[in-house]
Structure 1
Amino acid sequence: MELKYTRRVAVIGGGSSGLACIKSCLDEGLEPVCYESSDDIGGLWRFKENPEPDRASIYHSVIINTSKEMMCFSDFPIPANFPNYMHNSLIMDYFRMYADHFQLTKHIRFNTKVLQVRQRSDFAHSGQWDVETENKDGKTEKHIFDAVMICIGHHCHPNLPLHDFPGIDTFEGTYFHSRDYKTPEEWRNKKAVVIGIGNSGGDIAVELSRVTKQLYLSTRRGAWILNRVGDNGQHPTVNDELPNRILSGTVQVKPNIRRLQGSSVEFDDGSVVEDVDLVVFPVRDTLSRSTISTTWMIAGLLGVRPNIPRLLLTDPRLGLKVLFGPSTPYQYRLKGPGKWAGARQAIFTQWERVAQPMQTRPCDDPKTKRSFMWPLVLSAAVVGWAAYVNRNNFPAYLQDPTALLDKMKVYLPAQ
């Protein structure tokens, strides 16, 4: 009897990406072994009072700036009772649910560092890798794997561009990277400057402004500030309180820093702030691409991109849900590799999960009114579909919007 060889995969890191990679390997019949240098899962999203070397770190108040329906694993919706924008502790709760549900933890070797990954001497023939690890007791081991997945994130090392700020070596106050910021209390009644108006900079500026004597927010180019509930935001600064803090004067927006000297900070507009106690440097995100366009592109490469014209013909209600959004990850589980039987239901119930955490008191149901939305939606779908098929050279008999409309009427509920 011939024994089947199971390919072994090393997964480095037990954060959100590492967990998803373990599950993907199991789905494909592979044997994953995950090495996590700490004693728990979660990666970036696990808050710790003291930052650790070579590890991402967050401040205590971090709330995700992506809604739960957009950020969830594509085959494991976040519970309906969770808030739409979750505190980091709830994100950790969700990761634990995911790991428990798919029994991922037994594949993780905690407190184990990966020291070295390199191709084996016969790599051209075998495609295998040598992986050297070290456990918490200092014992090293060497392993052979058929593949390696690196899931350590990109916020492990702080980027302090001190050369951009002349005089920083003479600054008498305290300066540090935002990864080292945890809580605002120790800076009560101080003057502080936060550099950068990204999401972390905005959050820290708002939080510090509640306790400091004055908070200055330095930005080179400005930003569009949006609430978490809004339309068409690609990668803006998401902050619910910053505009009010600016209006009240507790946060003063300043241009880029020209130089620092002693306890003073001079900005590019010539203004100088004296007696500054704290300067906080930002996280600089180098992966600022549109999530939706990126996932759509990758989905096409993997063969899991939903075929919207076909859905409009075969399952019009589902097709309209996908066409008019929101662009939630469940749509990439409708077909192809990794197809999930619950994807359709997850799409149909996504707005219920959005509404549930806000339904905290009973209220009378509104009277049912005749809706004119279906005809409008249907007409827009037909126009969009016609443009799509013309662009993609569909057969002529499929390019007739009137025929499509008649076909779709069969499936749509009567008004």
Structure 2
Amino acid sequence: MDAERTSACGLKRVVAALLLATLFPAASATANGTGDTEKAPSTEPPLVLALDAFLERERSRPEADLPSAAFAPPLPDPTDFTPLPPAPGMTIIGGLPAQPGSLRDMVRLTMVLKHGASPAREATECSGVLVHPQLVLTAAHCLIPKDLNFYLSEVTVWYGHHRRDQQRALSLPHPASSMLIAGRYRRLQPELGFDLAALHLPEPLSGSEVMPARLADDEMLEKDRLHFFTAGWGKTVETDNDRLTSPQWLLYARLMLLDAGEQPVPPHQRDTWLELLSGPLVSGGSGPDEPMSRACVGDSGGGFYAAPVQDIGPAIAAAAGPRLIGLTSFGRNADFSPGTGAAGDDPSFCLHPRTLSHFTNLLAYHAEIAGMASAFGIDPSEIGLAGGTEQ
């Protein structure tokens, strides 16, 4: 009997210890006599997620069936590409063709999405920025299907020239395993920020027309006067009939940073724009005396840059060089919410006078970028960051 009682008591102690360990991990360590206290599991979301893990999380949300609030455009037919001369009122919107030798970090991305249970396909196009010979940063929404029944089957990186028809192509054979998504990105709420993803390339991009971007740093931001501009291959507008089409050339457009009242901040107001660059998102638009300029459909993931006043012009001088501040994320205005109402190929969205371009501010996401680089075996110092984050 004593043996049975002892055995039962021992069993009760084991069960109690297991329950204690489950409910109070730190307390159980002390109860077990180890004297060591363990930290409770962190409730912080991971810095980065694999695409499959991100999609699994999104499918579990109550609003999973809703379309993404951020959007990527339909891939245009190559025969529809129309070279557009720079003209007032024309929109990256308001853009000028980038000259050879400038913005050699900009790449173009084409994605093919397939339906999980049917032959349906959807093709999209975005822009991206090379920050290392094997690492491209782009907008997370470019890689996330609007309909979660689709999956990403093909990704091609186009690079090495400003003209579409002269670019080289590099395909990612297993795209889902070659990308990471910022862990706190919410596909239905791009206005929260974190619209950031990274593509790891199977081989380094090289050539005279390829040069990874340099991230903006404190030394540059301390300059008294900076200009800001964005670039991309996104849709632009033929002014005759307001038809959205895709330009043959990479375009760039100078932007003014906009304050909370949507007013342009001139280059000499350094304190104001330093304050703006402390947030997760920055917004930009046309200056008061300039033609309308902003990013549009297909520019998503393209670079948002800062450059000293004397180093921006048709050739965008690379001596002091522009530095990468952010990535094009989404557009919004007082009449349309992101991804609803007039959007996609409707020119009224990009051309509406109240539409603003919003950019993921990479200055706020150095930890995520360093974590992505480290996860792909790239030393963060190679992209100008101090260190990586353990994954």
Bucket of the pairwise TM-score, normalised by the shorter protein: under 0.3
Q: Which of these two proteins has the greater Rg computed from alpha carbons?
A: 1
Question: Normalising by structure 2, what TM-score?
Answer: 0.23
TM-score by length of 1: 0.22
More strand, by proportion: 2
Q: Name the structure, 1 or 2, with higher relative contact order (CA <8 Å, separation 6+).
A: 2
